[in-house]
Amino acid sequence: MRRKNKTALVLCGGGSQGVAEIGFYRALTEKGIKPDFIIGTSVGAINGAFIASGLDIDQIKELWLEISHQKLYRLNPELLWKWGNATSLFKPTGLKQFLMNYLPVKTFEELSIPLTVVATDLQKAEPVYLDKGPLLHALMASSAIPVYFPPQIMNGDQLVDGGITNNIPIDTAYGMGASAIYCMLNVCRHQFKRSVSGLFDTLIRSSEVSQYQKLRDDTDRIAPDAELYLLDMCINTQLTGVLDFSKTEIIMEEAYRFSKKALERGYGCVPLPLNSGHEIPQKIANSYLPV
């Protein structure tokens, strides 16, 4: 397929760690890199919508700080009488209201930059790519983490978090003809330095692990034919879970410093501890280090 000389920004899922993408995007804008289109999964879809709507970095940063100060998720009262038959652990009402209040536009067609949102069809067991019509419903579907939040119904289809089927949609960007693809992973694909503990952290980490073989395959296929900038930061700041927004500003700054250094030196996707004193290697053209 002939490349279209287009730049794609790919934004992944990762819950509260998704704020790292704002630091990453700040570094991109400072370097003069502007996406021709955006593809987002889960929290990456929400970030993508804010970016594509024309909000600047300072405005998006303020929105993330607002999220960290609000309680967007409350326990689902169905748990009191339905137990395991409840639709979810949490009600996403707060998130929905937040998006209704702060999204500058209501439809995909009103966005300044084309956006594709990834969700998962539970019945068909396949990814769904949304780029037309109401924006809010697509974002709620893409971020509906199973068990945590209830599935969303769109056009009769039961949709959940896009991260289940395509959490790192660099293949979609490539399929849309991108000649340059920029992406930061929100979750660490390398060996954890700490034990994974707790029911829900284990569930989330297991889902992440299942995506990494797809990432390796996608990278092998895409790298020879396109400029692939895949930054793998492995966030050092410890969070208690995917809904822990207490370290928002710290993670945003950590991601910015990492991304700025990486982009300045033409760095590909080797993880670098920020305070290790190590130098970033020379540019790794269209390659990656295996997990």
Q: What phi and psi, each to the nearest 5 degrees, are found at residue 14?
A: 160, 15
Residue 13 contacts residue 36 (beta carbons within 8 Å): no
Residue type, 144: A
> What is the rounded average pLDDT for all residues in the chain?
82
Indicate whether 219 pLDDT > 60: yes
For 193, phi then psi, to 5°, come to -85, -10
Q: Is the pLDDT assigned to residue 191 strictly greater than 80? A: no
**What does the pLDDT read at residue 275?**
33
Residue 205, pLDDT score = 63
Alpha-carbon distances of 140 from 13, 66, 95, 165, rounded to whole Å: 13, 18, 8, 16
- Give the integer Cα–Cα distance in Å for 277 and 260: 16
Tokens of 87: 């639709």
- Quick: pLDDT tens for 164-182: 999 999 999 999 999 999 9
What's the Cα-to-Cα distance from 153 to each of 73, 115, 138, 177, 261, rounded to whole Å? 19, 20, 10, 30, 42
Between 41 and 230, the more confident residue is 41
How confident is the model at residue 148, as a pLDDT?
A: 86
Written as six digits, the tokens of 25 are: 């995007």
pLDDT of residue 237: 59
Task: Flag whether pLDDT at 202 surpasses 70.
Answer: no
Query: Which of 4-18, 69-83, 206-220, 277-291 has the weakest average pLDDT?
Result: 277-291
Cα dihedral sign for 29, 35, 38, 41? negative
Task: For 74-127, write each residue's pLDDT tens digit.
Answer: 776 676 667 666 676 788 888 999 999 999 999 999 999 999 999 999 999 999
pLDDT band of residue 283 (cuts 50, 70, 90) is very low
CA distances from 53 to 65, 70, 103 (A): 19, 22, 8
Question: CA 213 to CA 211: how far, in whole Å?
Answer: 6
Which is more confident, 213 or 248? 248
